[in-house]
Amino acid sequence: MTGGTDGHAEGHGRVYQSRGDQHITEHHHYGGDGTGYVGPDSVRRPAVGRCPVALRDRGEVMERLRESVGPERGGQVYVLYGMGGSGKTAVACALFEEVAGEQGRVGLWVNAADRASLRAGMLAVAADRGAGDGELLAARNGLRPAADLVWSYLDRSTEPWLLVLDNTDEPEILRDGDWLRTSPRGTVLVTTRRAAARWWPGAELQHIGVLPRADAALVLRDLAPHSGTAEQAARVADRLGRLPLALTLAGGFLSHQVIDPWTLDTYRDRLDGDERVRLIDRGADAMSEANPRQLVGLTWQLTLDAFEARGLPEAAALLRLLARFAAEPLPLTLLDHSAIGALLPRDRTETALRALLDQSLSELVDTAGTRCAQSHGILLDSVSAATPAHLLPELDATAVRLLDAVVPAVPDAGPYDPRLRLLVPHTLTLLRQVAEPSAADALAVATRLAVALHRTGDYLSARETARTAAELGQRHLGADHRAVLAARSRAGRALFRLGAYAEAEAELRTVLDAQRRLFGADDADTSDSGYGLQLVLANLGRREESVALLRDTVAGRRSALGPSHPLTLRARAGLLETLSATDVVTEEDGALLALPGECERALGPDHTVTLGVRHNHAWALYLLGRFDAADREIRQVTDAYARRWGPDYPLVLAARQLLSRTRAALGHPEEAITLMTDVVERRERGLGPEHPFTVASRRVLDAHRSGRRQP
């Protein structure tokens, strides 16, 4: 065991290795997480803007599903599959409302469109079913299996439940962690476009297709009852392929015509006669259920034509901008920035959005306490495909600038912020679509977002964001581009935090070698990768290599950033914890022990780096046998940590562990035992009894009880 907190540190979080002889290093990550898990605002309500006014032609499906959630029923998985826009979510929403409103079951709704959304939603389910803050924090930070935690609480639920996994169009993400399971306490309902049986072993599959002619006509008449007869509605429905999404868009358009209302016949004539729509819809007469894009394109293009005629061209511009992002909740704050002025006047953004909402081209949803706009994926895909090529460069540049404005400019440690995770799918979708002129800027924003996620403890999201961004950016920029290497370095740092030391070392060493060759040893990016690699080496027990690389990092950061930069001070703090008692006194001609004062003068006493430096400084004092000074400092640090992050946060527990050592060294064994008993109990709740950190803390407790002093 090395270090006052069972290890060294940077950033915030805990990592461990348990292969062979355990060398457990618990790094002081200078940052924090909230005391409790923060995920979606609610899993007790469908994460959709609104359920349909009436559910047409789904009676047989609904009857089967009702039986699955009857009294004493459970242990089943139902999969609703069909093309985009067919109404799978509408069926799930209708069942959810029945279950939650009439049958007394608990309804739990999770957006499973991507790994980050799935994981956040499922952990919110665990919280709903009684999981504690410590357990949730450890699961989110990758220190215990998240899926196991969720399903253990679902299995123990005192109330029967219905769990909806919506938008599961990448079912492979369910296998990463074994998220899809069965339980006698409830029923799982999945919506997806992917119908292959291999994805859904043991599940009952139900196809959701286009509507019969009469029911499709009813959808139009539900939304626009005064626009024409049932037969006229049926003819329009035929023209739209009877796809529920296209019908909803058409009905929304018709219902909002005020000055010169269109009839259903007028609408159908425009569908048949508008040359621009024909170009969009080329080949639509042979439309198959596998490709609804052209059908949707028929409806939204007429709506945008109407906007133009009514003097609202901004609505078309806004819809094209939204199509550069993902079909996921988009925070409205992203649209409230001066950068949008390149496409439409900022003071007209509200009007444009209201026009899209009125025409059912978008909807408002609340996610993680944030008001968002969301549009259907098929609609956005259709709009993107029909956007003229000459508009794309400005659209991409504007989208990048808007994202850049909402991602923290200098990410700092702090409480978990679900708004950051909301930005992940939009950032990656933009990277998939963006052309070369904006690719480097988009990749830089994605990497900074990964840093922000990392520094709030969301290591899995950070790793996935950085890894995917690097792969996407490399297509345009090449493997040796600075931005690509920076993204790969950040992915390596996240791997380290997740305990994948071998993978992290290989990735960081490859990146570091490339950066040294291309940019030089003292380059800021090179130093960042070197700092990350030395953390891995320290945890692998290769202390000499780690210290040598850390000294190189300190020199590089001094040269590139200056002696008072937070990153330079953070690297020097690593030496305070890594060096032996003898070396820490002689390092930098003795100046290293004065580092807390330097940090307070440069950054202030409450800065995250300052607190972390004082934590490491207290460990150095403990090693030097200066127990009174170490005790005073770590007590102050522990109190500051607890105020910021709560009693269960790992860094708080690490500080309290060091405090127990100083109390024991000063002749207060009972107080030391009380402190360590609490630390062990909290780690057992959060990490489990066999986790290396729990085992290490238990050793310290045993030493206190036996009267032995631990180094």
pLDDT in tens, 514-572: 999 999 998 999 999 999 999 999 888 899 999 999 999 999 999 989 999 999 999 99
User: In the prediction, which pLDDT does 130 show?
Assistant: 92
Tens of pLDDT, residue by residue over 418-445, are: 788 899 999 999 999 998 889 999 999 9
Q: How many CB atoms lie within 10 A of CB 200?
A: 21
Question: Model confidence at 273, in pLDDT bands (50, 70, 90)?
Answer: low
Question: Model confidence at 163, in pLDDT bands (50, 70, 90)?
Answer: very high
Cβ contact 649:35 at 8 Å: yes
Q: Please check the confidence at residue 8 and state whether its pLDDT lies above 60.
A: no
Closest CA to 307 of 352, 245, 258, 374: 352
Q: How many CB atoms lie within 10 A of CB 66?
A: 14
Buried b (16+ CB within 10 A) or exposed e, 85-122: bbbbbbbbbbbbebbbeeeebbbbbbbbbbbbbbbbbb
Q: Please check the confidence at residue 478 and state whether its pLDDT lies above 70.
A: yes
Instruction: List every span in the chain annotated with CATH 1.25.40.10.
Output: 577-706
Tens of pLDDT, residue by residue over 186-196, are: 999 999 888 78
Tens of pLDDT, residue by residue over 29-82, are: 444 333 333 455 578 788 765 666 566 767 778 888 888 787 777 789 999 988
- Residue 345's φ and ψ, nearest 5 degrees, are -60, 135
Q: Give CA–CA dist 225/143, Å, rounded.
A: 56
Cβ contact 276:297 at 8 Å: no
Instruction: List every span in the chain annotated with CATH 3.40.50.300.
Output: 59-207
User: In the prediction, which pLDDT does 21 show?
Assistant: 31
Q: Give CA–CA dist 548/344, Å, rounded.
A: 54
Q: Please check the confidence at residue 282 and state whether its pLDDT lies above 80.
A: no
Q: Give CA–CA dist 467/472, Å, rounded.
A: 9
Q: Please check the confidence at residue 289 and state whether its pLDDT lies above 70.
A: no
User: In the prediction, which pLDDT does 251 show?
Assistant: 84
Q: What Cα–Cα distance (Å) separates residue 85 from each residue in 202, 207, 235, 292?
A: 26, 13, 19, 8
Beta-strand pair 106-111/161-166: parallel
User: In the prediction, which pLDDT does 639 show?
Assistant: 95
The three-point CA angle 336-340-343 to 5° equals 145
Cβ contact 408:452 at 8 Å: yes
Question: Model confidence at 285, in pLDDT bands (50, 70, 90)?
Answer: very low
CATH number of 577-706: 1.25.40.10
Fold (topology level) of 59-207: Rossmann fold (3.40.50)
The three-point CA angle 29-35-38 to 5° equals 105
189 pairs with which residues across the strands? Answer: 78, 164
Tens of pLDDT, residue by residue over 483-514, are: 999 999 999 999 988 878 899 999 999 999 99
Q: Please check the confidence at residue 219 and state whether its pLDDT lies above 90.
A: no
Q: Please check the confidence at residue 284 and state whether its pLDDT lies above 90.
A: no
* Percentage of residues in the chain having pLDDT higher than 70: 87
User: In the prediction, which pLDDT does 260 show?
Assistant: 67
Residue 65: left (phi > 0), alpha (psi -120 to 50), or beta? alpha
Sheet holding 106-111, edge to edge: 106-111, 161-166, 186-192, 76-81, 204-207
* Percentage of residues in the chain having pLDDT higher than 90: 47
Closest CA to 489 of 464, 525, 539: 525
Closest CA to 415 of 34, 22, 30, 12: 34
Q: Which comes out higher in pLDDT, residue 93 or 595?
A: 595
Q: Give CA–CA dist 40/619, Å, rounded.
A: 39
Closest CA to 571 of 604, 538, 605: 538
User: In the prediction, which pLDDT does 295 show?
Assistant: 58
Segment 589-601 shows an average pLDDT of 93
